[in-house]
């Protein structure tokens, strides 16, 4: 019989499937009871009564974060927190201390380093997707999914000079608004557009054709979208911030830029693409090896 695990997850993960890679693994090793929360940082008062309702081997919070005063009161011999960097990037050490009674599964090197220095019980792991066939695509074509207001085509056109063909997937995240490209940008970059994909396959097909992928945000939790692009051999252009800079070495297997935007030199694009694909190949092997050790970490109180 599998040990029973109580998992708190975010409601919107039912739609985005962002936690499914982890949930699928857990289901192979645990009998999971799930609760879904509407927001990441929550003041839910009845966590303890839910925890006490059954004899759980582990209680896991996947990106769901009990606020500090609630977290400090939770009682179970095996509490586990799985944070995402873009949720906790601004936490101080003092804030983290409220979660000292939790073990932490960390998908971010930056978080792992901080918590190991604080003597947390940490399981560092770096996610990599399944490797796709190497398809570098057209070196003069770019895919950009605009998700946030602070980074749109006005910024992208400063990075991509001289102009290349740009496909803009204009699907802004909830709570954000973005400027439309100018008529001049549309003309210079021969822009094509989408706003919605019915299936992931439709998105993959467009990305497959492009040589360059622009990562859409300044911070990521893991960065599934740019990692999927790397797994096909795309050259990813991204902010020099976690988690992108935990995977990408500038000028080696991708391109990193700062807030001071400047033209990127793509003269070694073919080499970057091959290195990106190989880094996912090697990373996936290491990820699966590390993942095999996770169940014992989760159940050992």
Residue ranges covered by each domain of the chain: 4-124, 138-281
Does the domain made of 138-281 have the CATH classification 3.40.50.2000? yes
**Element counts in the chain: helices (H) and strands (E):** 14, 14
85's enclosing H/E stretch is helix 85-88
β-pairing verdict for 4-10 and 31-37: parallel
Q: For the chain, state the CA radius of gyration.
A: 21
For residue 215, what is the DSSP state? -
Buried b (16+ CB within 10 A) or exposed e, 272-284: bbebbbebbeebb
Does the domain made of 4-124 have the CATH classification 3.40.50? yes
Same fold, 4-124 and 138-281: yes
Residue 87 has φ and ψ, to the nearest 5°, of: -90, -35
Q: Vertex 84, ends 7 and 116: CA angle to 5°?
A: 95
Between CA 62 and CA 17 the distance in angstroms is 13
* pLDDT given at position 42: 85
Q: Exposed (0-12), middle (13-18) or buried (19+): which is 98, by Cβ within 10 Å? A: middle
Region label for 146, one of left (φ > 0), alpha (ψ between -120 and 50) or beta (otherwise): beta
* pLDDT given at position 301: 67
pLDDT tens digits for range 202-211: 999 999 999 9
Residue bearing tokens 């795309």:
234
Tell me the angle at which helices 224-231 and 269-291 cross, rounded to the nearest 10 degrees. 110
Whether residue 184 contacts residue 262, with contact meaning beta carbons closer than 8 Å, is answered with: no
pTM of the predicted protein model: 0.94
Q: Which residues of the chain fall below pLDDT 50?
A: none
Q: Which ranges in 152-239 belong to alpha helices (H)?
A: 153-159, 183-188, 200-209, 224-231
Q: Which whole-number Å values give the CA distances from 129 to 14, 199, 224, in the listed order?
A: 19, 18, 8
* pLDDT given at position 169: 94
**Residue 234, preceding bond cis, omega within 30 degrees?**
no
Q: How many CB atoms lie within 10 A of CB 251?
A: 14
pLDDT tens digits for range 215-233: 999 999 999 999 999 999 9
Q: Vertex 194, ends 223 and 156: CA angle to 5°?
A: 60
Residue 131 has φ and ψ, to the nearest 5°, of: -75, 135
Buried b (16+ CB within 10 A) or exposed e, 22-55: bbeebeeebeeeeeebeebebebeebeeebeeee
């Amino acid at each position: 019989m599998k040990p029973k695990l109580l998992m708190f997850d975010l409601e919107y993960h039912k739609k985005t499937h962002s936690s499914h890679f982890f949930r699928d693994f857990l289901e192979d090793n645990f009998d999971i009871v799930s609760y879904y929360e509407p927001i990441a940082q929550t003041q839910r008062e009845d966590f303890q009564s839910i925890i006490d309702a059954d004899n759980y081997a582990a209680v896991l919070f996947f990106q769901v974060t009990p606020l500090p005063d609630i977290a400090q009161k939770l009682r179970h011999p095996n509490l586990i927190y799985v944070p995402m960097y873009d949720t906790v990037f601004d936490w101080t050490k003092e804030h983290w201390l409220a979660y000292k009674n939790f073990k932490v599964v960390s998908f971010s090197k930056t978080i792992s380093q901080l918590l190991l220095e604080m003597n947390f019980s940490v399981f560092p792991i770096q996610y990599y997707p399944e490797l796709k066939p190497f398809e570098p695509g057209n070196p003069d074509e770019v895919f950009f999914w605009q998700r946030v207001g602070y980074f749109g085509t006005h910024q992208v056109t400063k990075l991509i000079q001289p102009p290349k063909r740009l496909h803009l997937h204009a699907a802004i995240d909830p709570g954000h608004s973005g400027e439309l490209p100018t008529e001049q940008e549309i003309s210079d970059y021969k822009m094509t557009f989408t706003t919605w994909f019915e299936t992931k396959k439709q998105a993959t097909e467009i990305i497959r054709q492009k040589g360059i992928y622009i990562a859409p945000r300044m911070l990521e939790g893991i960065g599934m979208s740019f990692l999927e692009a790397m797994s096909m051999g795309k050259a990813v252009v991204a902010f020099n911030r976690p988690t992108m800079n935990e995977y990408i070495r500038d000028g080696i297997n991708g391109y990193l830029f700062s807030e001071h935007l400047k033209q990127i030199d793509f003269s070694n694009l073919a080499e970057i693409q091959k290195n990106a694909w190989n880094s996912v190949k090697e990373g996936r092997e290491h990820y699966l090896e590390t993942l095999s050790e996770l169940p014992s970490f989760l159940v050992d109180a």
